[in-house]
Each structure stands twice: as C-alpha cells, then as structure tokens.
C-alpha cells in the first residue's frame, strides 16, 4: 500500500482515437478488489498502466459489491475482473490474478 501511494503509475501514451476506443471498452470491465490485497493492488496498477478506466469496486468497504461477487461470480474472492459481453450470458468472471493479467496483456497491450 505504501508503494502504491508514493509511486504513481504513468499510463501508456496512445492517440486520442485509440484512447477513446479503449475508454468505451473499459466501461464494460469491473474490478472487484480490496485495498489491502497485494494482488488487487497489482491488478489496479496494471489497469492504470494500460490506460484503462475500469469500474473499481472495493468489496471491503461496500457490502453491495460483495453481494454482487456472490450472486454473479459465485465466490467472494479478490481480485476479480468482471468482463461484460454483448449479451448477459457472455459475462465472464476472472478470479485468478494470473488469468486477469493474461487477459489484460492479450487484450490491451500494444
């Protein structure tokens, strides 16, 4: 947490058109996290580095977010990345920080 506070992340530079497209797509991504979880902090910082503006939901502070994890993904475990598809049945819940990092790299790396 100390390093996260003191060492800010610099996002990748992208063209305005690329960033605009990325902003639209990142609105469909939600990150469930806990501010004291090292894996959650790592995922948050990676999203910031990629320039993603994902919806961040702190399950340690808001019980409604915790309930969303239970009812949607089936587990109360962080970090969790919820990726909404075009239809409700296309929604994916990624729980493993390794899987989340692979998804982010595959989808958003330049």
Query: Per residue in 64-100, pLDDT tens?
Result: 999 999 999 899 899 999 999 876 668 899 999 999 9
In a domain, 98, yes or no: yes
Q: Into how many domains does the chain fold?
A: 1
In a domain, 81, yes or no: yes
- Per-residue HEC secondary structure of 61-89 comes to CCHHHHHHHHHHHCCCCCCEEEECCCCHH
Give the pLDDT of residue 3.
Answer: 58
In whole angstroms, what is the distance from residue 15 CA to residue 38 CA?
A: 31
Q: What is the CATH number of the domain that holds 48?
A: 3.40.30.10
pLDDT over 70 (residue 30): yes
Classify 97 in phi/psi space as left (phi over 0), alpha (psi -120 to 50) or beta: alpha
Mean per-residue pLDDT over the chain, rounded: 87
Cβ–Cβ contacts within 10 Å for residue 48, how many? 17
Beta-bridge partner residues of 80: 32
Confidence of residue 110 (pLDDT cuts 50, 70, 90): low
What is the residue range of 40's domain? 27-108
In a domain, 74, yes or no: yes
In a domain, 89, yes or no: yes
Report pTM. Answer: 0.84
Confidence of residue 4 (pLDDT cuts 50, 70, 90): low
Give the pLDDT of residue 88.
Answer: 63
In whole angstroms, what is the distance from residue 28 CA to residue 51 CA?
A: 14
Nearest to 51 by CA among 7, 19, 83, 85: 19
**In the chain, how long is the greatest CA-to-CA distance?**
40
pLDDT over 60 (residue 48): yes
């Amino acid at each position: 947490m100390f390093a996260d506070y003191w060492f800010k992340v610099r996002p990748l530079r992208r063209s305005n058109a690329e960033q605009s497209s990325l902003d639209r797509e990142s609105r469909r991504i939600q990150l469930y996290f806990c501010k004291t979880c090292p894996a959650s902090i790592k995922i948050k910082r990676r999203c910031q580095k990629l320039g993603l503006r994902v919806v961040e939901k702190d399950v340690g502070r808001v019980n409604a977010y915790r309930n969303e994890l239970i009812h949607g993904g089936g587990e109360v475990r962080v970090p969790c990345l919820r990726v909404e598809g075009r239809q409700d049945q296309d929604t994916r819940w990624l729980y493993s920080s390794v899987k989340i990092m692979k998804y982010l790299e595959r989808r958003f790396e330049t």
